[in-house]
Amino acid sequence: MSKRKLIISLLTVAFLSFVLFSLFGNQGWIALYKGKQQLKELRSEVSQSEQMIDSLNKEIDRLKNDTSYLEKIAREKLGMARRDEKIYKFVEEND
C-alpha cells in the first residue's frame, strides 16, 4: 500500500471514529437531544406542579377567610349541619 493510500485510510478511519463518537458518545448529539427532551418534560412537570400549588394556595386562602365557602364544604363533603337543622338522607330502594 502506498503512503498516500495509508494516510487517506487513516484520515477516513479517524473521521468516521469522530463522527460515530459525536453521535453516539456520552456527550454526543444523541445524548444532547435526549437531555433536551428530558429537560423539556421536566419543565412541563414543574409548570404543572406550580399550577397545582397555586390552586391549592387559593383553596387554603378560601378555607381560612371565606366562611360561606367553608360552610358549603362542611355541608357537602362532611355532611355537617347547623345545630337547629335536621339532615334527611334518602336511600333508593333496589328492586
Residue with cell 468516521: 16
How many helices (H) and strands (E) the chain has is answered by: 3, 0
Q: Is residue 45 part of a domain?
A: yes
Q: Is residue 95 part of a domain?
A: no
How far are the Cα atoms of 49, 52, 72 from residue 55, in angstroms, in the given order? 10, 5, 18
Q: Is residue 12 part of a domain?
A: no
Q: How many domains does the chain have?
A: 1
Q: Is residue 2 part of a domain?
A: no
Q: What is the mean pLDDT of the chain?
A: 87
Judge whether residue 51 has pLDDT over 80. yes
Q: Is residue 41 part of a domain?
A: yes
pLDDT for the residue numbered 95: 67
Residues of the domain holding 77: 37-81
- pLDDT, tens digit (0-9, with 9 covering 90-100), for 27-49: 777 778 888 999 999 999 999 99
Q: Is residue 1 part of a domain?
A: no
Q: Give the global pTM.
A: 0.57
